[in-house]
Structure 1
Amino acid sequence: MRTPDQPVLRDIVLVGGGHSHVGVLKRFAMNPVPGVRLTLICRDTHTPYSGMLPGYVAGHYSYDDVHIDLSRLAEFAGARFYRDEAIGIDRDQQQVLCRSRPSVPYDLLSINIGSSPRVHDVEGAADYAVPVKPITGFNNRWLSLLSRVESHDGPLTVAVVGAGAGGAELTLAMQFRLQKELRQRGKDPDELHFHLFDASDEILPTHNPKVRAVFERKLSERGIKTHLGSPVQRLSDGIVITDAGDTLQADEVLWVTRASGPEWLDKTGINLDDGLFIRVRDTLQTENDDNIFAVGDIANAINHPREKAGVFAVRQGPPLADNLRRMALGKSPKPFKPQKKWLALISTGDKFAVASRGETEFHGRLVWRWKDWIDRRFMKKFNDLPKMKEDASLPDTSAAQTPEEATQAISAVAMRCGGCGAKVGSTVLSQALGELRPIEREDIIIGLHAPDDAAVLRVPPGKAVVHTVDFFRAFIDDPYVFGRVAANHSLGDVFAMGAEAQSATAVATVPYGIESKVRDVVFQMMSGAVEVLNEAGCALVGGHTGEGKELALGFAVNGLIDPDKVMSKGGLQAGDALILTKPIGTGTLFAAHMRLAARGRWIDSALTSMMHSNKVAAECLQRYGSRACTDVTGFGLLGHLIEMTRPSGVDAELDLSSIPVLPGAEETAAAGILSSLQPANIRLRRGIRDQEKWVNHPRYPLVFDPQTAGGLLASVAADQAEACVRELRSLGYPHTAIIGRVLPQDPEGPIEPIRLRE
């Protein structure tokens, strides 16, 4: 993660990854404002470009061709990326309410969340139709429909409700792709039937007659039947019923009709129109709240009403970025007036497109090639990101809006005390931690419920104490997710020993800044950590928080264990199978993330794995008689395996092809992007027999890859291994695999204890 030299003075929160917001991120990346921090909250890591969606459906583009990677773009912009869904706004407290994480405070807020078809307006539509928006949901159903075509026999009927430009374009694209799939499988494409419904008497009603004529001809030539002037009244399972009483049996119904905003907006007190769209002024600010902006489909520009089209969201990006910048610096925003006429390029699925602007129309394959060039050029701006130079400028207080804030900002980086003077203030800390609810345990005599100089714990009879400590810098810009990973990582050693986690003491370093910003970072981070500790039955009993340049967190964890049931590194026995419960690759992936070389979905997969507790896996391994276990962390898979073979007096064999690997890890390692700890781990290659034979294997670099919150590496008797793996997978560890076996030690000694094989 980036560590800004400037203390944070203003927080701009962007809700949604729409076309306007990607433009804001790019502009702030190229020209950041000292003291202003951006946070993007979005449910999806990859945001689609609507202009290329029909081409994707038609098969002309890949998924990555038509999606902007928000994780990479946010990293490039120095913005925090919170992968979550906004479900409300507390305007009094100036906080965004999220579905799965603590609320996010803002000084300025912008909303660019698009819209969704109003399926609740028609009986049965919510249950039996597939809304085209949000596009992520539609994409999953579209991929499912493609797979159904592979195995489907007989006629297949698809109904599309909504004959505007979006509905007609999508219908033609789907038909083109599905007919192609049927031909490739030797099936009759004429068994595929498309029907297009609309309440209007004409298709594409917002475009000129010449454009409509082209699409009427295309739909007719392609055998797509239109049902106009008779709105869909009701849907049941596989049946479309219109106002005129006509019925159609359909295998799939897609909904591309009039859209609306989400219902949660109605509870915010922001002025909305009848469609739950946010009413905005010419400055793009909401009608009744100067600190909230709205753009794209979700916005209704009250003085300049326009059709819901992606072109307007794209055009709103620059003025939105400029006005957010001006507001953050205490200046007045400027009005923006959208154009009255705009160019629409509408495709027909077969690399043919129609250009529409006012009363102008022209069409052909050259128009599609023009559209393709425009779309690819747009996407290149957000996916081909240049390397950014580090900025080491001195503190800038331009964004401070009171003398007190400016004073705090200057003192935040100048003449900072050391020793106990570097501690975070007690008021800030108590406010940040006041809302947290660590669990209470009967064996905690003195803890956070009765703070004292130290915690006092009771050790039950017959139990021994396990004690471990971990501490590391933040590797991602989301303090809540970092807190979850840090706590999970710290608990790993306790679980690997077969112990029960009892208590944890936190040690944190928080970047200096004004009190409100420091308080929120501490709260977000410790909220994530306490959730994980509570889930593990581990009580947070105290800690220490100090100031520093980078966010960091660690825990000293106590555990309780039956001394006769310890799983140790020295318990390997020849003949045992080696089991790994999680995939490897976090080191190379986050090294690539820092270089903007990792796809956002790869980072999503890595974080999901890192936030997955080892507690249940350790309990399962114990049930299957494991006596040797460790968690795979900084020394990498090979380093930790060598740590196990030496005290056990055995050798081991690894099957490279069986080792589970996180998505993208092989690609980033092959590109030579490795963790800074990798060179130290590679020194252990001398422990591999005939290691020169394996240096070009794609998995070879990954056995040295340092892991954060990695899985458990354990041995289980060979006759129990398959059953153990099946149970681990059923318990939520789907990548668990037998990755090798324990061998008798070579008579010549443990010089090269590790053998590799395919």
Structure 2
Amino acid sequence: MQSPDQPVLRDIVLVGGGHSHVGVLKRFAMNPVPGVRLTLICRDTHTPYSGMLPGYVAGHYSYDDVHIDLSRLAEYAGARFYRAQVDGIDRDNQRVICRGRPDVPYDLASINIGSSPRVADVEGAADHAVPVKPITGFNRFWLALLSRVENHDNGPLTIAVVGAGAGGVELTLAMQYRLRKELRQRGKDPDLLHFHLFDSRDILLPTHNDRVRGMFQRKLKERSVHLHLGSPVDQVESRLLTTAAGERLEVDEVLWVTRAGGPQWLKDTGLALDDGQFLRVRDTLQTETDDNIFAAGDIANVVNHPREKAGVFAVRQGPPLADNLKRMVRGKAPKPFYPQKDWLSLISTGDKYAVASRGDRGFAGRWVWRWKDWIDRRFMRKFSDLPAMDDNIVLPDTSAAQSSEEASQAISAVAMRCGGCGAKVGSTVLSRALARLQPIERGDILVGLHAPDDAAVMTVPPGKAVVHTVDFFRAFIDDPYVFGRVAANHSLGDLFAMGAEAQSATAVATVPYGIESKVEDTVYQMMAGAVEVLNEAGCALVGGHTGEGRELALGFAVNGLIDPERIMSKGGLRDGDALILTKPIGTGTLFAAHARLAAKGRWVDAALDSMMQSNRKAAECLLDCGARACTDVTGFGLLGHLVEMTRPSGVDAELNLSAIPVLPGVEVTAAEGILSSLQPANVRLRRAIRDQEQWVKHPRYPLIFDPQTAGGLLASLPADQADACVAKLRKLGYPHTMIIGRVTAAQAPEGAIEPITLKN
């Protein structure tokens, strides 16, 4: 993993989380190159293993059994993971263009995004057919279809699958097996289900031998799957499919498993493509057009060694791709890779039976499925059972990455960093990064970034008071853009909790030292995320200070304006009030688990989505609903912030543990004893709980001490208005809002240390 003392000299950006790239990540994890930083950009956090997808559809595997957790794997490999959609590559400036976030610069890039069925080639297919790839979209369809079948009471259900290659045949049989089983278990007639398999070619499984084709023709006949070969599908309409021969079939669903191709944006890169819109690559896996861009997996056509689009080739391209990327950053020539001429295919039939196909040979049986299951599970364990890594960090040398004057300067500077004002990020670097940002301007900002000076100057409108707060913390994730958004959101939380309007913000940032271009991009990525949040809040960035340090960190001093007559304070709790929490808790334990590779990527995604959600609209709603007291839940945890409210209010409170909204996965990580480093300090407040001994084994008990980053609002309001307020908050986009307790009269003399009663 990257050491803070290790300047980044070269960036390798992996576009897509396919089978080749997971192999690259694993290989770099086991043998990293000092000074080289990996960044993985992928739309989805969990990437499916294609070999097990039919087994998942058939019900033999769970979602986690067949998906590789890219977030966890990237953390293990010391790589940055950006969850984003790639829309292009700017080769002139060597930047990967991402949707909804800043471009990502690269020195070397690799593309492993798989392929997608070309539904646009057939009239109506794009609107009325479901492509099997990307798998995320197909999975949503599949889960919805299962739900429909569970409640299907009347009439037949007809499903058409277009594409009679191995993928189409395997998916058809897996779907049929699972759906018939679901119908039987519910006492319904499985013969109401009808499957039709279409292909423009006149033979089944055209890349396999006659023996294997015969096996599947018999299997499909036994399973009453209707074959339509030699007549391409010409048009798809709502509930109707038409072939070029004029055959018309009423259908409920159409699945598309054929005519794959690359995404549209590849055409705009200027990279050489073949007739199927796949990247033309050389034996070294470099694209024909650009030595600095590699490609592997389904999206790549190795022009000297054309092969079928099969997962086995993507898997085997992983090691040579990783080795060639390493060779390139060291200034060495890449080596050619020669794929095998034939390969073993294990094709399942849905019912724990499989057919093996290789060259002109074929054999089948339940033992073949067990063999396939053993092979697939062994492959997946490579990316789930991650061995411990060596903590010894080696400082880079000139052989670690391509030697250059800029790199040499960065390496020699590692041990000679200045302190004091000399630790500032260079003015040229900073000005270039900030010049690309577009913070909003406000009429009440007299001096700010639009007219820089030694300090910012603001005016205060008549009848308003000034609210001022500050927050600062180091990065807990490797994505500076997302970190910038979270840091800005966290800093604004105190203003919103009091009912204030954000006016201005001054940034304080620390950026790891290194090559100017790398530092500049880090500053820009981080501040771009922060400025987006500030702009959305109507808050003007008016200045700041950026210095060099060991770790990335960011904070803001924020000013706000408030009506003195409408302040929500911590001391406003009243006996009988309802307590409302607007966001789920658990970020502390989740990110502690993430650092230990013990959190699922989708748990981390849910936490980040929550942390990036602003509290502004929630605060406005609470104020309009008559909230009397409010605070944002942050570092002291839910209990700590509640005690901060009960003490100045002179009241006690009841907290319903089962009503507290929690983030996905936090009860698992807390039960495993994975807690934030701040947890022990917060646990000291357990003395504030009445009869706390009886609650220590409750699964939610550790979570009330969990420190939060950019947490939700904890507020009180009259009980008769609470339900209506919760409904409004959920409609505004805070779906986890809950009434978590109530305020009670003080039961002990003033200053008592046990104001909180827990309930389940």
Shorter-chain TM-score: what band? over 0.9
Q: Is the CA contact (8 Å cut-off) linking 1:436 and 1:530 kept in structure 2? A: yes
* Aligned counterparts of 1:47 and 1:181: Cα–Cα separation in 2: 27
| 2:668 aligned partner, one-letter code | E
Q: Match of 2:736, SS?
A: coil
Write the distance in 2 (CA, Å) between the matches of 1:50 and 1:415: 50
Alignment of 1:419-498 (within 5 A): 419-498=420-499
Secondary structure of the residue that 1:476 maps to in structure 2? coil
How many angstroms does 1:384 deviate by? 1.1
Q: Is the 8 A contact 1:485 1:611 kept in 2?
A: yes
Residues 5 and 393 in structure 1, CA contact (< 8 A), matched pair in contact too: no
**1-structure distance, mates of 2:279, 2:395:** 39
Residue 32 of structure 2 aligns with which residue?
32
**1:222 is aligned to 2:223:** yes
CA offset at residue 433 of structure 1? 1.0
Q: Which amino acid aligns with 1:709?
A: A
Tell me if structure 1 keeps the 8 A contact 2:407–2:515.
no
Distance 1:5 1:238 in 2: 61
Indicate the residue corresponding to 1:368 in structure 2.
Answer: 369
Shift of 1:627: 2.1
Corresponding residue for residue 43 of structure 1: 43
Query: Could you tell me which residue of structure 1 aligns to residue 113 of structure 2?
Result: 113
Where do 5+ consecutive residues of structure 1 fail to align?
A: none
- Quote the Cα distance in structure 2 between the aligned partners of 1:470 and 1:8: 28
Report the alpha carbon displacement of residue 396 of structure 1 after superposing the two structures with TM: 2.5
TM-score by length of 1: 0.99
How far residue 404 of structure 1 moved from its aligned partner, in angstroms, is 1.3
Count of matched residue pairs: 758
Structure 1 distance, partners of 2:4, 2:303, is 39
Distance 1:202 1:401 in 2: 52
Which residue does the alignment assign to 1:608?
609
Give the equivalent residue in structure 2 for 1:683.
684
Q: Tell me if the contact between 2:3 and 2:393 (Cα under 8 Å) persists in the aligned partners.
A: no
Matches within 5 A, 1:251-266: 251-266=252-267
Q: What amino acid does structure 2 have at the position aligned with 1:705?
A: D
* Structure 2 counterpart of 1:107, one-letter code: D
Deviation at 1:400, TM superposition (A): 4.2
2:586 match: 585
For 1:29-68, what per-residue CA distance to the aligned partner results, in whole angstroms no more than 9, with x for missing partners?
A: 0000000000000000000000000000000000000000
Secondary structure of the 2:565 match is helix
Tell me the CA shift for residue 2 of structure 1: 6.0
Q: Partners in 1 of 2:738 and 2:253 — Cα distance?
A: 39
Partner of 2:697: 696
Contact preservation (8 Å) 2:475, 2:553:
yes
- The answer (yes or no) to whether the contact 1:3–1:550 under 8 Å persists in 2 is no
What is aligned with 2:548?
Answer: 547
The 8 Å contact of residues 128 and 254 in structure 2, kept in 1 or not, is answered as yes
For 2:135 and 2:565, the matched residues in 1 are separated by 55
Deviation at 1:100, TM superposition (A): 1.5
| Residue aligning to 2:69 | 69
Partner SS for 2:54: helix
How far is 1:393 from its partner? 2.2
- Whether the aligned pair in 1 keeps the contact of 2:34 and 2:395 (CA below 8 Å) is no
Contact 2:200–2:233 (CA<8 Å) still a contact in 1?
A: yes
CA distance in 2, matches of 1:757, 1:397: 62
Show CA shifts across 1:687-707 (max 9, x none). Answer: 000000100100000000000
1:3 deviates by: 4.3
**C-alpha separation in 2, matches of 1:21 and 1:276:** 20
Query: What TM-score do you get using the length of structure 2 for normalisation?
Result: 0.99
Task: Describe how 1:315-334 pairs up with structure 2 within 5 A.
Answer: 315-334=316-335
Shift of 1:403: 4.1
Mapped pair 1:753 → 2:755: yes
Tell me how large the CA RMSD over aligned residues is.
0.9
Task: Output the amino acid matched with 1:128.
Answer: H
2:378 match: 377
* Aligned equivalent of 1:12: 12
Contact 2:513 / 2:549 at 8 angstroms: preserved in 1? Answer: yes
- Give the partner amino acid of 1:84: A
CA distance in 2, matches of 1:643, 1:46: 40
SS at match of 1:545: strand
Q: Measured at CA, do residues 109 and 72 of structure 1 come closer, stay the same or move farther in structure 2, by a change above 3 Å?
A: same
Partner of 1:639 in structure 2? 640
Distance 2:4 2:230 in 1: 59
Partner of 2:501: 500
* 1:720 Cα deviation after fit: 0.4
Give a deviation string over 1:133-157, Cα, whole Å, max 9, x none: 1111001000000000011122111
Distance 1:693 1:197 in 2: 64
Alignment of 1:569-584 (within 5 A): 569-584=570-585
Q: Residues 649-677 of structure 1, C-alpha deviation per residue, up to 9 Å, x if partnerless?
A: 00000000000000000000000000000
Query: Does 2:269 correspond to 1:268?
Result: yes
Q: Which residue of 2 aligns with 1:406?
A: 407
Q: The residue matched to 2:291 in structure 1 has which SS?
A: strand
Alignment correspondent of 2:144: 144
What is the aligned partner in structure 2 of residue 238 from structure 1? 239
Q: Which residue of structure 1 aligns with residue 359 of structure 2?
A: 358
Deviation, 1:385, is 1.0
Contact 1:34 1:398 in 2 (8 A): no
Deviates more, 1:393-402 or 1:372-381: 393-402
Q: How far 1:408 moved relative to its partner? A: 1.9
| 1:702-741 correspondence runs (5 A) | 702-741=703-742
> What SS does the aligned partner of 1:320 have?
helix
Residue identity in the other structure for 2:446? I
Aligned twin of 2:660: 659
CA drift of 1:264 comes to 0.6
* Map of 2:620 onto structure 1: 619
Where structure 2 has 5 or more consecutive residues not aligned to the other structure, the ranges are none
1:4/1:336 Cα in 2 relative to 1: closer, same or farther (>3 Å)? farther
Please give the alpha-carbon distance, in whole angstroms, between the structure 1 residues aligned to 2:720 and 2:325. Answer: 64
8 Å CA contact retained: 2:355, 2:368 = yes
Q: CA deviation at 1:395?
A: 3.5
Q: Identity rate of aligned residues, in percent?
A: 80
Distance 1:449 1:4 in 2: 34
Rounded Cα–Cα distance in structure 2 between residues aligned with 1:709 and 1:505: 18
What secondary structure, in the 3-state scheme, does the structure 2 residue paired with 1:485 have?
Answer: helix
SS of alignment partner, residue 563 of structure 1: coil
